[in-house]
Amino acid sequence: MELRELDLDALDLSLGRLRRLPTSEVERMESSLRSKGQLSPVVVAREGDRWVLIDGFVRVMAARRLKLDQVVAEVVEVTPTQMKAQVYLRNRERGLHLLEECRLVRELVEVDGLSQVEVADLVERHKSWVCRRLALARRLSPALLAEADLGRLTAGSLSKLAQLPARNQEEVWAAAQREGIEGGQIGLLATLWRQAPDPDARTWVLSHPTQALAHARGKTEESSDPRLGPAGEEVHRGLVALRRVSLRLTRRVQQGLGALAPAGLEVLARAHERARVDATEALERIHTALGGIDG
């Protein structure tokens, strides 16, 4: 392993575009450098007359804040494309943010011209891993990519938001910001918007995100309408089922009942009377509970 001291000003930080570099991490590293010094070398590769930084961006940024002149660097011999792969490989154990993985894969495909299979080989992952991250990078709104860079969106929320059209991603994010919704709740809000049964329900989700999330807690993802609480959901399902049964019975009767014995007619008559009484009472109670509103 070749180690050498390099001037900070001699380092090319262009690959930093593939990383998220939160200020909080730089501040922690600054404290560590001040008290303990540089514990591990940064990693660089020579490209022409440049020393391209591959790993150690937080350390370099912290060193600059401390006005240090040099850092200890490990020199590796790799191609420009391999440099990008090393950004991932050298951080694989502690893990990169999903956004960083997406950005790397997209650049290797769209800038370096590699196939998804070639990218998978280069970063030592399955091609499906590459495919998912490329798709996510292409679906996400540029505005949300910028927000994710600032650490405001979790990986799970990014994945959920990416399932929406770009404009709607930004609408859901704006609604979450307005109400102070954070973390995984943003992803849940995106799911509620996507599963809403009609445009009015989606508009309601955006207008009342906190209420929509409150209704969704404790419910499965099969819930059909975020405007309904658990009781409203149950009543709604029952009314839909009642209407379907009513339509089916109407079609059946219109087609005729065929030849029925007197005893059979009596059975149907008793069942009809019980259903009429019970259904009428249920509908009247619902009508009263709704305050007499007709839908």
Alpha carbons 97 and 240: distance in angstroms, whole number:
44
The answer to whether 104 and 84 have CB atoms below 8 angstroms apart is yes
Alpha carbons 226 and 209: distance in angstroms, whole number:
9
Amino acid at 171: E
pLDDT at 218: 55
| Cα atoms found within 13 Å of the Cα of residue 244, Cβ hemisphere only | 6
pTM to 2 decimal places: 0.66
If we measure between CA atoms, which residue out of 45, 47, 28 comes closest to residue 36?
28
Per-residue pLDDT tens digits of the chain, which is 295 residues long: 799 999 999 999 999 999 988 888 999 999 999 999 999 999 999 998 899 999 999 999 999 999 999 999 999 999 999 999 999 999 988 888 888 999 999 999 999 999 999 999 999 999 999 999 999 999 999 888 888 877 788 888 999 999 999 899 999 999 999 999 988 899 999 999 998 888 999 999 999 999 889 887 755 444 557 777 778 878 888 888 888 888 888 888 888 888 888 888 888 888 899 889 888 988 888 888 888 666 5
pLDDT at 260: 80
pLDDT at 221: 44
If we measure between CA atoms, which residue out of 37, 40, 49, 44 comes closest to residue 13?
44
